[in-house]
Amino acid sequence: MNKLNYEKTIGKWNMIEIQCCGPTDKNPFADFWIRGVFNGKNEKAAVDGFYDGDGIYCVRFMPSFEGEYKFTLSSNFPMPEDHGAFTVTRQEEGNHGPVRVQNTYHFAYEDGSPYYSIGTTCYVWHLQADRLIEQTLQNLSEFAFNKIRFCIFPKHYAYNLGEPREYPYEGRPMDSGILTVDNFYEYDGHAKGNQWDFFRFNPAYFRHIEKCIVRLQKLGIEADLILMHPYDRWGFSCMDDAADDFYLNYILARFSAYRNVWWSLANEYDLMKDKNYQNWEHYADLICRKDPYSHLRSIHNCVHFYDHTRPWITHCSIQRQDIYKSSEMVQEWRGRYKKPVVLDEIMYEGNIQYGWGNISAQEMVRRFWEATCRGGYAGHGETYLNSQDILWWSHGGKLLGESHKRFRFLHEIVCETPGTGLKLYERSSWDEVCAVPEQIGKENQYYLFYYSFMQPAFREFDMKNEEEYEVTIIDTWEMTTTKAGRKKGKFIVELPGKPYIAVQLKRAEQR
C-alpha cells in the first residue's frame, strides 16, 4: 500500500477510514501519531488517528452532511500522501444518524426521528465465542431492543470467571485456574500475576469490538460502551493516569466515528476505589475534546449517583437506589437533573442468588411502564440460572425470560405519542400514573393512564375539556388492546380488575 487507502464515496453518518502505511519499529502505539482534519461545506473536524497493527495507521471520520469533503493528514512519520477528498451521499435507509437529547428529557436521532430507548445489558457479550455472539444478535434483533450496554474490558465476577476471547493489551493474564465460586471476590484489579504492556494494544481486540458495534448498527441498536468498570482481576480498572489517558485516546480515535456509540464512563463508578472525582472529570474532559460528534455521555452508579448536573453529562444513567421504588422515582430525578432519565439497572429478571438479579418478568415489565409513563427510560437485563451458566446480563445468548417479549408492544404504544416523549401529567391522581405528551400544546391530545400493580374493575374519568377521545384498554402483560368507544367529559371505563392495565385516550379525529 503505497497510497492512502479509503472509499471515495460514503453515506452520511457512516464512517470513512483513511488507512496509511507507517513504521512498525519502536512502539507504534506510543511513538508515532497521525491526525486528520476533515473539511466539508457545513463542518470541519480535527481527529486523532491510531495504529491498527501490521504497519497500518488509520484516521476515521463520520460526516454529518452530504456533499464534497476534503481532508489533510499530519503525522510524525513519512506518509505517501497527506490529503484527499471524498463524496458524502444521502444516508442509506434506516440510518437516522446519532442519537441526541431532544425536548430536555427525551432522545431523537439526528434526522429528527424519535428514539424511545428500550435498553438491555449484556456486559461482555462481545467477548464470548462467535456462536454465542450470533445468538445474542439474533435475540436482540428479534425483540425490541434499541440499546445495549456493554464493557470494553472483560468482566470478573460470579458467573464470569472464564477468560475473554482475547485481551486488549499485549501481555498475559494471571492464572485464572485458581479461581473458585468461593474465592473469586478476593481478586480485584490489584491481583498478582498479570503482565500487560498498557502502552501496546492488541488491535484485534478492538477490531472485534468494532465488528460488534457495526453489527448492532445494522440492527438499529445503540452501543452504550462502558469505558471502565470495577469487576476486574486483570488490572484494567487500576491503571495509572498515563495508561488511562492512553487507553481513552485510543478508544476515542477508534470508536467515535461510529454513529451508534454512547459513552458510559463507567459502570458503578463508585466501586472503583482507584478513581476519584478528579479522574472522572478529567476523562470526561478528554472525551468532550476528542469526540467531535458529541456522542451521548453518562456515568452509571452503584450506590451513589454521580452529580448528573455536570454539563458534560447528557443524560442520567441510573442504577436504582431502592429495591421497592425504582422507575417510580423518574419524575424526581427529571426535576433534579433536567436531563433524560435512563434507568439502566432496575434489577434484572431472573432467579440467581443476588437481589439485583431475581425479579419476575411481571415486575420488570411493570418497571418499564412506570418509567415510560413518567417520562423516563428503563433498561432490561436477564439472569436466569441454566446448565451452561450463560446469563444474558453478562454473556448474551438466548433470552429465557418473559419480560423482553413485552417491550415491542410498549414501544409501539409509546410511538403513538404526539411530539417526542411522555411525561407525568401534573394532575395525575395519586392512585394512577397519567402520562401526557412532553411537548407543550399536545397535552390534551393524548393521555396514557397506567395502574401498575393495582387492579381496578373500573375507573372514573373527568376530562374537563370538550374533546372527544378514543378509549383503548391496554393489558400491558397480555399485550392486548381493546377499543372502548369514544367518550368525552365525565365517563366510566370498565376494566378487567387485574394488575398491569393501562387506558389510552387519543383525541378522536374531527368529524
- Give contact residues for a copy of itself (rule: CB under 8 A): 322-325, 328, 350-356, 358-360, 363, 385, 429-432, 451-460, 497-499
How near is the Cβ of 121 to a copy of itself at its closest, in Å? 18
Helices (H), 221-276: 241-255
In the complex, the smallest distance separating the C-beta of residue 446 from a copy of itself, rounded to whole angstroms, is 22
- Between 432 and 443, name the residue whose CB sits nearer to a copy of itself: 432
What is the grid cell recorded at 380? 432490561
In degrees and rounded to multiples of 5, residue 44 shows phi and psi of -140, 135
Residue 475, C-alpha cell as written in the block: 393489558
Nearer to a copy of itself, 178 or 323 (CB): 323
Contact 348, 361 (CB under 8 A): no
Write the single-letter amino acid at 158. Answer: A
In angstroms, rounded to a whole number, what is the distance separating the alpha carbons of residues 500 and 404? 15
Nearer to a copy of itself, 352 or 479 (CB): 352
When the beta carbons of 415 and 457 are compared against a copy of itself, the nearer one is 457
Q: How far is the CB of 226 from a copy of itself (least distance, A)?
A: 22
Minimum separation from the CB atom of position 502 to a copy of itself (A): 15
Q: Which amino acid is at 270?
A: D
Backbone angles phi, psi at 211, to 5 degrees: -60, -40
Angle separating helix axes 407-415 and 361-373, nearest 10 degrees: 10
Residue 219 vs 271, nearer CB to a copy of itself:
271
Q: 98 or 401: whose CB is closer to a copy of itself?
A: 401
63 in Cβ contact with 12 (< 8 Å): yes
| Closest separation in Å from C-beta 425 to a copy of itself | 15
DSSP-based three-state secondary structure for 418: coil
CB of 325 to a copy of itself, least distance (A): 5
Closer CB to a copy of itself, 222 or 349, in the complex? 349
Look up residue 98 and give its DSSP letter.
S
Distance (Å, rounded) from C-alpha 139 to C-alpha 479?
20
The CB-of-322 to a copy of itself minimum distance in angstroms stands at 8
Instruction: List, in order, residues 6 or more apart from 412 with CB less than 8 Å away.
Output: none
Q: Which residue, 64 or 452, is less far from a copy of itself as judged by CB?
A: 452
Query: What secondary structure does DSSP assign to 38-69, as a single string?
Result: EEESS-EEEEE-EE-STTEEEEEE---S-EEE
- The CA radius of gyration of the chain, in Å to the nearest whole number, is 24
CB of 378 to a copy of itself, least distance (A): 15
Of 85 and 323, which CB lies nearer to a copy of itself in the complex structure?
323
Q: How many C-beta neighbours within 10 Å does residue 337 have? A: 19
Contact 147, 222 (CB under 8 A): yes
Q: How far is the CB of 125 from a copy of itself (least distance, A)?
A: 22
C-alpha cell at 181: 465460586
Strands 377-380 and 119-121 turn out to be parallel
Q: Reduced to 3 states, what is the DSSP secondary structure of residue 285?
A: helix
Q: Which is nearer to a copy of itself, 309 or 429 (by Cβ)? A: 429
Distance CA 425, CA 493 (A): 19
Q: Smaller CB distance to a copy of itself: residue 162 or 499? A: 499
Q: How far out from the chain centre does Cα 206 lie? A: 18
User: 3-state DSSP call for residue 483?
Assistant: strand
Q: How far apart are CA 261 and CA 213, in angstroms?
A: 8
- Closer CB to a copy of itself, residue 345 or residue 432? 432
Distance CA 173, CA 181 (A): 19
Helix (H) or strand (E) holding 341: strand 341-345
**Least distance in angstroms from the C-beta of 492 to a copy of itself:** 8
CB of 153 to a copy of itself, least distance (A): 26
Q: How far is the CB of 145 from a copy of itself (least distance, A)?
A: 23
Contact criterion met (CB below 8 Å) for 269 and 299: yes
